[in-house]
Amino acid sequence: MSKLVLLRHGESVWNLKNIFTGWVDVPLSQNGIKEAEAAGKQIADIAFDVVFSSMQIRAMETAMIALVQSHSQKTPVVLHDDSEMKDKTGIYSEETLANILPIYHNWHLNERYYGELQGRNKAQVMEEFGDEQVHIWRRSYDVPPPNGESLKDTSERTIPFFVESVMPLLTEGKNVLVSAHGNSLRSIVMLIENLSKDQVLELEIPTGTPLLYEWADNKLHKRALA
């Protein structure tokens, strides 16, 4: 049975500072690095065939740090779509090429775009707009923050990507790791677990905590990590 692991990035420096991050590129905090290492140890026995990450550094950092803990002998290598980078990052050894773990980063897995809230402290935003309004922006399904994305908007890019790029690999028997974000992963879990709009709003995905699914009987089944 093929395996799918969904991994939210470890704590970022803006998670720590309680700042809306969205698409802003910030690194992991010291605790986030430890979370990524711990996550890697939990999934170290899974021999991944393909890794997908968002374009954002905190997700890519998490994937790389986690994969360093793997018991596999394959080397994680980012494969670039950009023509200049693709030309300049060729691997000219068949033996080496056969022993890489390809990592693809794609913007469809990016965090929900928080628009004009990005870079602002969450407590200060609540003082300005009120707890109820901020709760609606953060937790409603289809109400976006000012000039940002709702969870519905986010799901309209993450779910098609998952169905078209990840699901076929699972049906082929390949093990896949997806390193992304709280909201992009919530929308994918909504699809996998057939959650209602109300149920997905209650779903919490902690930082640095792997979610394991196995492909069997033409569907994904949630499993506990040992």
Measure the CA–CA gap between 11 and 64, rounded to whole angstroms. 15
Residue 108 annotated in ligand binding: no
- Report which DSSP code applies to 79: P
Residue 187 annotated in ligand binding: no
Q: Which domains does the chain have, with CATH numbers?
A: 3-223 (3.40.50.1240)
Residue 186 annotated in ligand binding: no
Query: Who's near 130: CB < 8 A, 6+ residues apart?
Result: none
Per the rule left: phi > 0, alpha: psi between -120 and 50, beta: everything else, 27 is beta
Residue 223 annotated in ligand binding: no
pTM: 0.95
Specify the pLDDT at position 187.
96
- Using 70 as the pLDDT threshold, list the residues of the chain that sit under it: none
Specify the pLDDT at position 158.
98
Distance of CA 15 to the CA centre of its chain: 15
Specify the pLDDT at position 34.
98
Q: Which amino acids are annotated catalytic?
A: 9, 111
pLDDT tens digits, 172-216:
999 999 999 999 999 999 999 999 999 998 999 999 999 999 999
